[in-house]
Amino acid sequence: MSFTFLSFSSRSPKNHNATRFNGPANLLVGLSVGVAAIAFTTSTSRAAVSGNLLTDPGFEINPLTSYVNVLASPYLTNVWGDEVSTISGPVGAVSPSGGVKMLSMTTDNLVATQTFQLVDVSAFSGAINTGTATADMSALFNVDKNVAGAKAEAVVQFWDSSHNPLVGSGTGLLTLDSNPATWEPISATSVSVPVNTNYVLAQVLYINSTMNDSAGVNQPGFVDDAKLTLTTSPEPASLGIFAIAALGMLRRRRPS
Ligand SMILES: [Ca+2]
């Protein structure tokens, strides 16, 4: 898929700005995370971390669908939508990190080869709409030894219930080593989840121009063990009720 650095999808079926990493957006994310941190401090240590919300995080089970089915109607959830990827066993000197399969991403001859999974997070809407929820997304990346300086990213974005992108996103990016024995994690951490988020869009990608081997031949990049979690705090109102109840108990316990 092509993107004018960091804002892509000329080929995308709808105007989903799959990634925007301009300065103000990053600043906004930073400010939001700061606010979330304060809220966390005042609401004690009752923040809850979800389990892994991704389906088939290790690319072992599901067949891949086209990215078109994820980014446009029918907006499939819980399935990886790819451009030019396959699920494979070992390739060259690279073996899957977990299980027996991994994602193998091949160039689409545009800017980046991308694979997406859309996750319905409406079950968390109460916590999300307090504005204090955060998301963490990560995956393991690896390339064969003849690819030097491969650039890969893990990206998390947010859509409302009508599948419209919301302002705010998170990205982790790394230039990988050329050791096929090492799987390197890339993470987008503590990303503020915008109010009205109904779907989280998790994405892994490789920058095609960085995937040439020493002979100038484009090589696949591999991904395994992806993870997406949400961290939520109790709603302030319910915390207040809890605090009042606790105070009442203390008073009752006081000797007369
Ligand atoms: Ca490696």
- By the 10 Å C-beta count (0-12 exposed, 13-18 middle, 19+ buried), 159 is classed as buried
* 228 neighbors 200 (Cβ within 8 angstroms): yes
The confidence score (pLDDT) of residue 2 equals 55
**Ligand 1 center to 239 CA (angstroms):** 45
Nearest-angstrom CA–CA distance, 215 and 251: 77
* Residue 65: how many other CB atoms lie within 10 Å: 16
**Domains detected in the chain:** 3-253 (2.60.120.260)
**What pLDDT score does 35 carry?**
42
Q: CB-based contacts of 8: which residues, under 8 Å, 6+ apart?
A: 1, 2, 17, 18, 19, 111, 112
- The whole-number pLDDT of residue 236 equals 56
What's the CA-to-centroid distance between 44 and ligand 1, angstroms? 39
Q: Tell how far the Cα of 134 is from the centroid of ligand 1, in angstroms.
A: 29
Q: What is the pLDDT along the chain (256 residues), one digit of tens a residue?
A: 654 333 343 334 444 445 433 333 333 333 344 444 444 444 455 789 999 999 999 999 978 999 999 999 999 999 999 999 999 999 999 999 999 999 999 999 999 999 999 999 999 999 999 999 999 999 999 999 999 999 999 999 999 999 999 999 999 999 999 999 999 999 999 999 999 999 999 999 999 999 999 999 999 999 999 999 999 987 555 555 555 455 455 455 555 4
Distance of CA 177 from the midpoint of ligand 1 (Å): 5
